[in-house]
Amino acid sequence: MKRLQKWQKPGEGYTASGFSDVGSYFVLISHNKNMLVLASASPRRKELLAQAGFIFTIAPAAIPEDPMPDESPIAYVVRLAREKAQAVYAQLSAQNNEDDPLLVLGADTTVVAPNGEILGKPSDPADTARMLRLLSGATHQVITGVALATQAGVETAAEVTHVTVLTLSEEEIAAYIATGEPADKAGAYAIQGSAARWIPRIHGCFFNVVGLPLALVSSMIEGTISRIEKSARAIPETAAASSI
């Protein structure tokens, strides 16, 4: 997978691909060596992966996202990321070929309240207020599980960031809920939105809190591509040696 040239912006110079049936927002261009697919409909993950310079398509995965009994937060997000990547890889595996190996990236982010509760997306305004009260005046964890599925298998990892939130008044909570911003966010807030004014410090990756730990994901993608390319180079050498 080559990154964009310095002069080239994501979204420019793209040609049509065969992924229109899975809702692609980004399409492959001729210098791509690998087919990277993001198994997520999250606009934030789409923006972050493009910001890192990767060319990719989008194929959202529809899987149940309920935690299993006694499942730890890290195990929970890693499992969901793996299931998303595997589901989309199985859907698109027929398009995999040696010249354009298929890579599917899955990710899932959750917020862990100071009391240990896993906070998903709030169900209604009352649930939003409840979550914000749990986070108010304390430090919580944001955990993202990531998975990269290829023909060789699935690689998984997780990133943890500690986020400190100022004490919030009931008036501030109500006003924030009224903006609509927290409605579709894990933990009922967006660090990249207006909630940023209540977060004096974080320890760890900022992009992880937004939804995708870019350094971790980039190293996984680039490491996988390096191994694929090394394996591809080794095959002709082995064939040549066996013919001697």
Q: What is the DSSP letter of 114?
A: T
Q: Which of 21, 70, 100, 108 is catalytic?
A: 108
Told to judge if 99 belongs to the known catalytic residues of this protein, a careful annotator would answer: no
Say how far apart CA 48 and CA 37 lie, in whole Å. 14
Say how far apart CA 232 and CA 20 lie, in whole Å. 29
The packing angle between helices 43-51 and 214-242, to 10°, is 60
E strand or H helix that includes residue 141: strand 139-150
3-state DSSP assignment of residue 28: coil
Say how far apart CA 116 and CA 140 lie, in whole Å. 9
Say how far apart CA 236 and CA 214 lie, in whole Å. 34
Two tokens, residue 233: 């180079």
Two tokens, residue 230: 């090394």
So which residues are the catalytic ones? 108
